[in-house]
Structure 1
Amino acid sequence: MLQPQLQLCKVTNALFISNARSACTDDLIQQEAVTLCINVSKQQPFPESSRIAALRVPVYDDPSEDLYRYFDSCADAIRDEASKGGHTVVYCKNGRSRSATICVAYLMKYRKLSLAEAFTG
């Protein structure tokens, strides 16, 4: 089985998306000057650095979870961090669905993109 490449993928200048393994890699966090980690899972860890703010969105990767109720608070946190010059990484186990949904919500709210524009980048 192939291991996923360790990387933080840039969404905007102040926002990255990733899987949990990459988001918890100190070298990557330091390289991209991440100051806020939004962990969209109930069970994945946070990076070990105490210098990074942490926000957990306690949901499982399950279609019945209510991720919508976290859209505004996460989008606001990303915007607030960017306004201070910080960088945010949003991640879940694989960095595909839950974390992407939070990033799309931010892009729609603060970049005024349509769903299609936010999703396709």
Structure 2
Amino acid sequence: MPVRLDRRAILRLAGAVLAALATGPAAARGDTLDGTVVFADGGAVPEGRLRIIAEDAAGTVTSEVEISSDGTAPRIGFTLQAAGTDEVVAWLERADGWVLARGAASVPAGAPLTVTLYAAMH
């Protein structure tokens, strides 16, 4: 037996589809957080794997990105999904997983975000 949809059902379905499109990945692309990672001594960010995460107020990871550093750039830019982000945490690892440096920054309202990495003490 074929399914028949009345006009109200069709309008509800169309509304649900439009709402899903407005809140899906296309909308999230406009809600990004751009930032920069620098090293505390002002020199180049050492060679390694830079891991950057965004956290909400409860400490839950909301977004994450990994960037390779070749050891020559004094600043490394990044982009994260910003939904609910209160703090950005970054750390630099060698190829063997040893942490070389780490840092964190609260997300400023309307100001550029810069995370400063400090050498890890071991």
Q: Could you say whether these structures have the same fold, taking a TM-score greater than 0.5 normalized by the shorter chain as the test? A: no
**Richer in helix (by share):** 1
Higher-strand-fraction structure:
2
**TM-score, normalising length: structure 2:** 0.27
Larger radius of gyration: 2
Q: Which protein has greater RCO, CA pairs closer than 8 Å, 6+ apart? A: 1
TM-score by length of 1: 0.27
